[in-house]
Amino acid sequence: MRPLGVSLVALLNWLRAGLFGFGGLVLILVGHLSGRLAAMIGSGPLLERVLSAVGKTLGFAALLVAVVWLAAGVGLWTLKAWGRSLTLVLTGLWLFFGLFGLLHRPFPTHILRVIIDGVIVVYLVNPDVKKLFT
């Protein structure tokens, strides 16, 4: 039986996947539209290609991150050891960038993000929870 904590972390992983996926699609669209806009105002084909390529590259990178978060959520949901490991790595990176954000702009959202990610890491390294994934 999957504990509630593991289910909540899996759902949070899927939420992050959805946000990255949506952001990736928006970046692809904005990159395409900004390239078209640059072409309309006569900035030249180079600027059009650069704007479009940057938007698409960033968008596809965000979609790739979304797929990784989605996989981590599936792995946790099915109590796979790789899902726990992947979630620890991703959450650890997310925590690192959250701490970095705290140093530059200590907004309440950064504080909440660091607290949530810290709790997730501590929860997933708990020996009782770790036993579920073996």
Residues of the chain with pLDDT > 70, as a percent, come to: 99
> SS3 breakdown of the chain: % helix, strand, coil, rounded to 5?
90, 0, 10
Look up tokens 């900004």; give the residue. Answer: 34
Q: What is the pLDDT of residues 119-131, one digit of tens each?
A: 999 999 999 999 9
Give this prediction's pTM. 0.89
Q: What is the pLDDT of residues 26-71, one digit of tens each?
A: 999 998 888 888 777 776 778 788 888 899 999 999 999 999 999 9
pLDDT-derived band at 104 (thresholds 50, 70, 90) equals confident
- Rounded CA separation 25/46 (Å): 23
Phi and psi of 126, rounded to 5°?
Answer: -60, 130
Mean pLDDT of the chain: 92
**Strands (DSSP E) found in the chain:** none
Q: Round the CA-based radius of gyration of the chain to a whole number and report it.
A: 19
Q: Residue 43 has what pLDDT?
A: 67
CA 134-12-126 angle, to 5 degrees, is 35
Q: Residue 76 has what pLDDT?
A: 96
> Residue 53: in which H helix or E strand, if any?
helix 45-77
Domain boundaries, the chain: 4-132
First to last CA, the chain: 14
- Rounded CA separation 94/121 (Å): 11
